[in-house]
Amino acid sequence: MSVIDSLKNSVLEGFDTTLAPSDIICSLLVSMLAGLFILFIYSRTMRQVTLNRSFCISLLLICSISAMMVLTITSNLALSLGMVGALSIVRFRTAIKDASDTAFLFWAVAVGITSGAGFFLLTLLGCLFVGVVCVVAMLLYDKVDKPYLLVIRSENGEIGGKVVEALQKAGLHYRMSSMVDTGSYTELIYEVGVKGGITSLVSDVKDIDGVTHVSLVDCRK
C-alpha cells in the first residue's frame, strides 16, 4: 500500500457514513437540555429590564442546529467540505447591543459542537462551569459602583463647589463631564459611581440653594 493510499484510508476512517438513531437523539437531547440551561443562566444574569424573546429562541435553536451540523460533518467527508464552503459565504449583520450576548452566542455554538461530536460529559460539565462563572461575575458586578450621569440645573452659576461637597460627603467617585452657562441658568453634568442611596443623593443636591432641577440618568451598557 502506497503512502497516498494510507493517508486516504486514515482520512476516510475518521468519518462514519452511518449514524445510529440513538446517537442522533442523544446529541439533540443533550444540546436542547444544555440550551435550556443557557437560557436559565441568561435570564438570571441579564442586565436588560425585559427578556428579548427572539434572542432567547435563537440561543435555543443555535444549540440544536450546531449539533445537527457537527453530526453531518463527522459522518460524511463530501458533505463536510460542502458545508464549510457554504458557511464561508454566510454573513451575519445583526447588531448585538450588549457585549455579553456575544458570549452567550458562542456558548450556544460550543454546546452544539461538543454535543454533536458526542462529548456529552464535556457539554454538561462545561455548561455547569460556565454557568457558575456567570453567577459569580454577576455577584461581583453588583458590589461595584454603577455609572450614572448627574444633571444639575441652577440659577446660580457658582454652585459647583457646593455640589462637589455634597458628592464628597456621600463618598462617591465623581468626575465633571460638562458645564453649560446660558446666562439665564447653569447646567452641570457629573459622572458618578453609585451603589445605593440614589434618592438621598438627588434630595441632597436638590436642597442646595439655587438648584432648580436635578436628574440622575443610568448610563450602564
Domain with 202 in it: 146-218
* Structural domains counted in the chain: 2
pLDDT tens string 93-128: 666 677 788 889 899 989 998 998 888 999 999 999
119 contact partners, CB below 8 Å, separation of at least 6: none
CA–CA separation, 170 vs 154, rounded Å? 20
Question: Can you give the pLDDT at residue 166?
Answer: 80
Last residue of a domain, one of 101, 123, 142: 142
pLDDT reading at 129 higher than 60: yes
pLDDT reading at 36 higher than 80: yes
Same domain, 135 and 191: no
Which of 55, 134, 57 shows the shortest CA–CA distance to 95? 55
Same domain, 137 and 202: no
Residue with cell 454557568: 131
Name the band, by pLDDT with cuts 50, 70 and 90, for residue 7: very low
CA–CA separation, 81 vs 78, rounded Å? 5
- CATH number at 190 reads 3.30.70.260
pLDDT tens string 157-212: 677 777 877 877 777 777 888 888 777 778 888 888 876 656 677 777 777 777 88
Which of 19, 125, 123, 13 shows the shortest CA–CA distance to 68? 19
C-alpha cell at 105: 452566542
